[in-house]
Chains A and B, each alone.
Chain A
Amino acid sequence: MLGWRIARHVVSITTILLLGGLLSAALVRLAPGFDVDEQQLDPGLSPESVRAMHESRTQQHNLLRFYVGYMGRALHGDLGTSHSLSQPVRTLLRDRLPVTLRLVTIGLALGWALAIALALTAAARVTAWDVATLIVSGVFLCLPTAVLALISVLLNTPGYLGIALIIFPKIFRYLRNLLAKAYSLPHICTARAKGLGEPRILMFHVLPIIAPQILALAGVSVSIAVGAAIPIETLCGLAGVGQLAWQAALGRDLPLLVNITVLVTLVTLLANSSADVIGHVLKSEGV
């Protein structure tokens, strides 16, 4: 049963990846500004040079041809060459992936830790603390990313604090509402009346009810964190995939953007599928 499920996930992941690459290529190709280069505004370049620059981009004009070609090459390990940075995409990603991985993992862990700490205390208590946590999470939700990035740099915590501060209000809010709703169910009252301790109630009576949603939240938080990595890396000057993505977007760098989208889609799909699979495992074990 589990094997079937995993196989199904693999097939759907592959289909979605292919679709994702194609759609992102279409979006980039059709958006205005695809065909141009900043260097066109340089009066020092001769008309022949400008024409040569144009011609080097024409091979990307036909979307389907480009995409099929890209997939064929990708199977051999060649992910194409970025024309805004004049380097093979594979080297670029290989150099920058560790930075982003570190950033996102530590940021996620920190964000979840903060959110759980606040949510557990807020859900079971009464108004004053609840309002306080509401306002605290509201503060970080309302701060522009640039300010969070600056705070992160001011405190010498490269980037991951910024990511943690971006995701923790969101996780906290969902978590807090779910916990509050679960705690308000009648059987909790009964459990308390019967004298069960708070930790037991939490572990065996509250969490199982909201486990699927929390897992889904975990999966979604990964893609929120990855999305947050783009502005944080750009603003903090960290050489990760997020900064690469932003530069690629500004330069309409099709090969790079397609690869990054496929990567992000893969990460999202893996995170969410894992959440699904874990949920199913927990359910079938009768937790």
Chain B
Amino acid sequence: MMRHRVLGRLILITFLCLGSTFARSETELRFCLRTEPKNLNPLLVSNDAEETIRYLTGGVLVRVNRQTQQLEPELAESWNVSKDGRQITFKLRQGIAFSDGTPFSAADVAYTVQQLMDPALHSATGDAFRSGAGTVSTKILASNHLAITFPAPVAGLDRLFDQVAILSSQSPKKEGAVLGPFVVAEYKPGASVLLKRNPNYWKKDSRSRRLPYLDSIRLDIQPNRDIELLHFKRGELDLINSLDSEYFDRLASTSPNLVHDAGPSLDSEQMWFNEVGNAPIPAYKRTWFRSTDFRRAIAQAINREDLSRVVFNGHAEPAIGPVSPANKFWFNDKLNPYPYDPEGALKKLQLVGFRLENGVLRDRDGNKVEFSIVTNAGNRYRERMAVMIQQDLQKVGIKVSVVTLDFPSLIERITQSFNYEAAILGLTNVDLDPNGQMNVWLSSAENHQWNPAQKSPETVWEAEIDRLMRAQASSIDPRKRKESFDRVQAIVMEQAPFIYLVNRNALSAISTSLHGASPVVLRPQTYWNADQLTLSAESGRGR
């Protein structure tokens, strides 16, 4: 009798212990960073990894809801942009503290803005606000009320604050004190970053439970995508944020419930020709590249459907213009995409003096039409697209050679020596607002890739684009801005300085133990609602 009772109690105690271990097990989300974060200062974010850490740890005044693409209040209860677009006032939430307990007030926002606008700080986040010369002034109207005045109107001023993580002006921990759902606990360079739950995070869910639900997030630094996939399949990772299309199909064949295709993303792949005046390329080639009809014919001779279908296994859409249809507000839906029409392309070329002889296209002076496309090595999709374009253009008698270069050599060629003929690269768009791309469309800017840093616009249409971009930058009426930018998109389609190829789909993989994730197109695709994600604790997860 006694022995049975003791035994029974022993068994009960064992089960309780085991049960409580499982119930109390820490939930840790694990996924990979593909690059190394060079620093943990949220104002100096320059790559994907740093962007991820900032998103998860930084508290912002307003947040662009990644699902609806609308601006929502975060740390600011309300805000108001003045009619001239130069001033913004914020009314902040009260009773909020940083992760180390330091209270949050308007002084911290003012401090952050001053740090951001320091001319010695060179970061894309700060530069987005620099619309004109002069100092930015902040006026604290109350402990939770402040006004920020800029020297010149800033287009889309309120949305820009989605990128500004507020720093504490008083905390001794400096950037270590954060307002976001997680805080950096450990950084092992080259290996991993550990984020732990911020105990003072201000958000609560609908049942007034403090967020985030997760206890910690471990970010492993793993540039190799094959190994990332391997870890995911083994259950050592909970999500893959941007999945390559070939891995998508591989996973989908065995476990279709793990993969998600959110549709075309904001990213585009494009090709352009070198139109720089003093580029070290033969003069007759420069004449071809500067001819709008030549570029439009090439745009027509490329089979974008095949590119989407073959290179991306159907997980991409042929690009229509500079803006992806995923950008709901700014996309100009009245544009006419280039049809795939090699005969039409040939006719276009023949109209301007090219002629096809024995399968070789020659120009007016008898030169064989040949050029090289450079792209960056290591990106399998671009290499394959270049080879497919090579075959497409062969049909109109053009001989294309494909050269893959390491990234620094490529950048040197397209920004300094201009020793290239055509290039294929992609643009990753984090921002919906086209104002972030001023440096691409202005003819005097450095990122005006086909012919950068022009002293004065060399063509009529580039001058027109300059005028329209400046108009949209100085207006705050969204409809007027959209009108101007729609016209820019139309001109770009007509003149084809960039030949847009595809818009890749936003693909991701999410394990079944992660709940609450709904992948979207805007970055960060899968963990945009990180504070509301939960992990079901499975036994034997091997932490």
Binding site for B on A (CB under 8 A): 31-50, 52-53, 84-87, 92, 95-96, 146, 149-150, 153-154, 234-237, 239-240, 243-244, 247, 250-252
Contact = CB atoms under 8 A, between A and B. Distances in A.
Contacts of B68: none
11 contacts: A33-B410, A36-B412, A40-B415, A41-B425, A41-B447, A42-B124, A44-B439, A45-B127, A85-B189, A149-B224, A237-B224
B365 interface: no
B284 interface: no
A233 to B, nearest CB: 9
B38 A86 contact: yes
A43 B440 contact: yes
A45 B124 contact: yes
Contact of A44 (B119, B128, B415): B128
A234 B227 CA distance: 11
Nearest to A236: B227
Nearest to B411: A36
B36 A40 contact: no
B54 to A, nearest CB: 14
Query: Helix, strand, loop or mixed for chain A's interface?
Result: helix
A52 B122 contact: yes
Contacts of B122: 45-46, 48-49, 52-53
B412 A33 contact: yes
A234 B124 contact: no
Contacts of B230: 150, 153-154
Nearest to A31: B409
A136 to B, nearest CB: 25
Size bin of chain B's contact surface: 35 or more
Contact of B38 (A34, A85, A235): A85
Contacts of A48: 119, 122
A101 B431 CA distance: 44
Which residue of A33, A85, A154 has the most chain B CB atoms within 10 A of its CB atom? A33
Interface of B: 36, 38-39, 46, 119, 122-125, 127-128, 130, 188-191, 220-224, 226-227, 230, 406-413, 415-417, 425, 431, 436-440, 445-447
Contacts of A32: 408-409, 412-413, 417
Nearest to A252: B408
Contacts of A239: 188-191, 221
Contact of B227 (A31, A34, A84, A235): A235
B189 A250 contact: no
A44 B46 CA distance: 10
Given A42-B46, A42-B124, 17 more contacts: A32-B412, A36-B416, A38-B407, A40-B411, A41-B415, A43-B438, A45-B127, A46-B127, A47-B439, A48-B119, A150-B227, A154-B230, A235-B227, A236-B227, A237-B220, A237-B221, A239-B188
Nearest to A44: B124
A270 B409 CA distance: 35
Contacts of A234: 223-224
